[in-house]
């Protein structure tokens, strides 16, 4: 047996994990200061102005305590106090409803299941689980846990439901391992479970994860089925979202049929098989197939061990429901009940009248329960429509869609719900469109501020593809047209300024007024750094200045030589040096003057008869 259990550790979740999926008990709990609630910073404070009742004072005091670390507050209403269990779906908390506290309700406690990251991360999780919660709210049955609502605080998703007192069946079975429970106790629990599943199947809901961890035994001995909130609808075509909430919870192979393991379409007999496994486990204290899945048991040709405490008829009924193949298995809960708990007693003919009365009473109870369920559905529809209207008025269109969607799923023909859903969807689409356009126009405006009109035009084009008639788009289109006109005018003015400056630069260069030329060229390059003619002219100026510098150096040296010749009274040498300078620069006045002085001195010396060189 130990080996069998070890081999299934990878497939079967333990009691600690199952607890969060079903345990809503007030048994052992953890301290409130140890609560690990996602995104606790998003929890809001409780307030109710102008209320001075005793109940309100108590609620306000509880809020103060929560602010000091004693619990967390959701939706200004639900005070999470103690952890009741953890599991694959989420964490269950014992919760005080502050609305009940304010109303001085003697029993203000409910249970809250805060869903885990897998649910939050899926884009369709909230809407789909809202739909599933709406389905569970239609299950007004004494053997099915009552789910109040499904909501969120920021990105924290949670479900509220009734708080139960007792213990989950898996814990009860663990204490009676290999022994089982008393037959009378088993039959009492089994009848409650059959009643719950039959009621759900009548409403086309298959549990699809039925197991001891999803059964709760109350202190009075009655049983309730948990987690119909993730049940699958028998008619998949009716679902608008492809996301299956049940797939977020792990499959429990020990209670799964061959069809479920192979991920084939679900049927009512899948719940029948799981129920039969649970009943066998209650009777024997062990699983009929040693915790193997139906597929493994079939492949290994396993057969459940006969239970001596059952009569031949009872064993036949249970064996029929435990059949591994769908063709051989009991088809429905109703058939299983008829086989396991036959209604007729052939030994007492006179009981027929009594049975008829019981049948009438049963029919009356069934009709009453149907009426109660319908009333609850109508109340839920009205509540969802009202909440959707409030959300719509507050322009919380996402909330309005969620609430009206639940109402339309419950009542597809309700025109008010359909119109509200359509209006909310259109308003949300419009808001999304406006936000997208605002983002694109914002980018376009930044481009416009940087004078990048091509960039601005690109973002404008994207905004027009979202909503060409949007007022922001039209307004920016006009602004861009004005900017383009201004840019064109500026370009004309710029070209004229460049042309004028280049004309001035060329004139100055012709006059060898290089300072004027450089100033004019710099004005052109300030307007157009890549202007080719201005760049070329500036290069010419540099080259000319370099050449003139070399010429000036040569002239300076020749003039120095000429002056040296005069000092030596070698006037012919001085004249030759001066002429060399004038060959380099005919207009160089100092050279002309030096030559003339040397020639004049030479002439005078000749006239006086001096010999000159």
pLDDT tens-digit series, residues 213-239: 899 999 999 999 988 755 555 544 334
Residue 6: the pLDDT is: 36
> pLDDT higher for 282 or 364?
282
Separation CA 8–CA 252 (nearest Å): 10
Separation CA 23–CA 226 (nearest Å): 8
Whether 48 has a pLDDT exceeding 60, the answer reads: no
> pLDDT higher for 447 or 11?
447
Share of the chain above pLDDT 90, in %: 49
Q: Which of 39-43, 139-143, 361-365 has the highest mean pLDDT?
A: 139-143
Single out the residue of 109, 93, 31, 97 nearest to residue 59, CA to CA.
Answer: 97
Residue 241: the pLDDT is: 45
Mean pLDDT value across the chain: 81
Q: What is the pTM of this model?
A: 0.54
Separation CA 423–CA 408 (nearest Å): 13
Residue 135: the pLDDT is: 65
Q: Which of 20-24, 45-49, 401-405, 607-611 has the highest mean pLDDT?
A: 401-405
Residue 235: the pLDDT is: 45
Whether 119 has a pLDDT exceeding 60, the answer reads: yes
Whether 190 has a pLDDT exceeding 90, the answer reads: yes
Within 10 angstroms of residue 30's Cβ, the number of other Cβ atoms is: 16
Separation CA 88–CA 524 (nearest Å): 74
Whether 613 has a pLDDT exceeding 60, the answer reads: no
Cα→Cα distances 60→35, 51, 67, 73, Å: 20, 10, 11, 12
DSSP state, 432? H
- Least confident stretch, 10-19, 53-62, 228-237, 287-296: 10-19
Residue 369: the pLDDT is: 53
> pLDDT higher for 135 or 326?
326
Q: Do 577 and 561 touch, CB atoms closer than 8 A?
A: yes
> pLDDT higher for 54 or 241?
54
DSSP state, 348? -
Whether 83 has a pLDDT exceeding 80, the answer reads: yes
pLDDT tens, position by position, 549-565: 888 999 999 999 999 99
The predicted model gives 507-524 an average pLDDT of 91
Residue 7: the pLDDT is: 35
Q: Do 324 and 297 touch, CB atoms closer than 8 A?
A: yes
Give 591's contacts (C-beta < 8 A, 6+ positions apart). Answer: 555, 558, 559, 562, 578, 579, 581, 582, 585
- Least confident stretch, 54-58, 267-271, 600-604: 54-58
Q: Do 108 and 85 touch, CB atoms closer than 8 A?
A: no
Confidence at 60, pLDDT banded by 50, 70, 90: confident
The predicted model gives 392-415 an average pLDDT of 83
Confidence at 523, pLDDT banded by 50, 70, 90: very high
Whether 44 has a pLDDT exceeding 50, the answer reads: no
- Least confident stretch, 145-154, 226-235, 508-517: 226-235
Three-state secondary-structure class, residue 38: coil
Residue 288: the pLDDT is: 97
Burial of 50 (0-12, 13-18, 19+ CB in 10 A): exposed
Separation CA 484–CA 460 (nearest Å): 14
Separation CA 295–CA 11 (nearest Å): 13
Separation CA 545–CA 540 (nearest Å): 8
Confidence at 474, pLDDT banded by 50, 70, 90: very high
Residue 42: the pLDDT is: 37
Residue 529: the pLDDT is: 92
Whether 3 has a pLDDT exceeding 60, the answer reads: no
Give 374's contacts (C-beta < 8 A, 6+ positions apart). Answer: none
Residue 84: the pLDDT is: 83
Residue 174: the pLDDT is: 94
Separation CA 367–CA 421 (nearest Å): 32
Residue 287: the pLDDT is: 97
Residue 360: the pLDDT is: 54
Single out the residue of 318, 53, 51, 307 nearest to residue 179, CA to CA.
Answer: 307
Q: Distance from first CA to last CA of the chain, Å, rounded?
A: 140
DSSP secondary structure string for all residues of 245-311: GGGGSPP-GGG--HHHHTTPPP-HHHHHHHHHHHHHHHHHSS-TTTT--HHHHHHTT--PPPPTTS-
Residue 238: the pLDDT is: 39
pLDDT tens, position by position, 428-437: 889 989 999 9
């Amino acid at each position: 047996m130990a080996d069998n259990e070890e081999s299934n550790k990878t497939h079967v979740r333990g009691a600690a994990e199952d607890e969060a999926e079903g345990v809503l008990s007030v048994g052992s709990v953890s301290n409130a200061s140890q609560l690990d609630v996602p995104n606790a910073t998003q929890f809001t404070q409780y307030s109710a102005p102008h209320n001075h009742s005793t109940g309100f004072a108590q609620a306000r005091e509880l809020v103060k305590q929560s602010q000091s670390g004693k619990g967390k507050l959701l939706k200004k209403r639900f005070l999470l106090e103690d952890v009741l269990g953890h599991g694959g779906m989420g964490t269950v908390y014992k919760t005080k409803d502050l609305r009940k506290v304010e109303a001085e309700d003697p029993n203000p406690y409910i249970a809250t299941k805060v869903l885990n990251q897998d649910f939050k991360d899926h884009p369709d999780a909230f809407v789909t689980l809202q739909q599933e919660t709406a389905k569970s709210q239609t299950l007004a049955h004494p053997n099915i846990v009552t789910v109040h609502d499904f909501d969120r605080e920021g990105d924290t998703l949670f479900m509220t439901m009734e708080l139960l007192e007792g213990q989950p069946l898996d814990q009860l079975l663990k204490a009676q391992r290999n022994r089982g429970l008393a037959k009378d106790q088993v039959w009492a629990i089994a009848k409650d479970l059959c009643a719950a599943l039959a009621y759900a199947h009548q409403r086309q809901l298959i549990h699809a994860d039925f197991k001891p961890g999803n059964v709760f035994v109350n202190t009075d001995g009655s049983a309730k089925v948990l987690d119909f909130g993730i049940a699958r609808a028998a008619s998949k075509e009716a679902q608008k979202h492809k996301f299956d909430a049940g797939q977020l919870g792990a499959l429990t192979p020990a209670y799964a049929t061959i069809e479920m393991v192979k991920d084939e379409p679900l049927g009512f007999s899948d719940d029948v098989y799981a129920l039969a496994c649970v009943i066998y486990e209650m009777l024997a204290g062990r699983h009929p197939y040693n915790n193997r899945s139906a597929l493994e048991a079939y492949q290994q040709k396993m057969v459940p061990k006969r239970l001596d405490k059952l009569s031949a008829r009872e064993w036949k009924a249970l064996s029929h429901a435990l059949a591994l193949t769908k063709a051989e298995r009991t088809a429905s809960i109703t058939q299983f009940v008829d086989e396991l708990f036959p209604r007729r007693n052939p030994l007492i003919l006179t009981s027929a009248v009594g049975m008829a009365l019981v049948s009438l009473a049963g029919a009356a109870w069934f009709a009453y329960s149907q009426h109660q369920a319908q009333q609850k559905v109508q109340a839920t529809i009205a509540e969802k429509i009202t909440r959707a209207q409030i959300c719509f008025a507050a322009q919380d269109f996402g909330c309005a869609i969620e609430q009206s969607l639940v109402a339309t799923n419950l009542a597809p023909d309700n025109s008010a719900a359909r119109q509200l859903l359509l209006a909310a969807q259109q308003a949300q689409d419009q808001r999304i469109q406006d936000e997208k356009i605002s983002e694109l126009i914002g980018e376009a405006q930044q481009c416009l501020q940087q004078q990048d009109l091509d960039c601005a035009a690109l973002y404008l084009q994207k905004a027009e593809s979202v909503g060409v008639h949007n007022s922001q788009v039209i307004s920016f289109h006009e602004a861009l047209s004005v900017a383009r006109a201004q840019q064109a005018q500026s370009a004309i003015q710029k070209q004229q300024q460049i042309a004028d400056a280049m004309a001035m630069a060329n004139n100055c260069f012709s006059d060898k007024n290089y300072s004027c030329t450089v100033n004019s060229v710099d004005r052109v390059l300030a307007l157009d750094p890549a202007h080719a003619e201005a760049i070329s002219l500036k290069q010419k100026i540099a080259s000319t200045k370099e050449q003139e510098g070399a010429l000036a150096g040569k002239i300076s040296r020749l003039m120095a030589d000429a002056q040296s010749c005069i000092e030596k009274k070698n006037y012919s040498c001085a004249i030759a040096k001066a002429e060399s300078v004038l060959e380099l620069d005919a207009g160089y006045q100092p050279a002309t003057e030096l030559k003339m002085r040397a020639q004049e001195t030479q002439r005078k010396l000749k006239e006086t008869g001096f010999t000159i060189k």
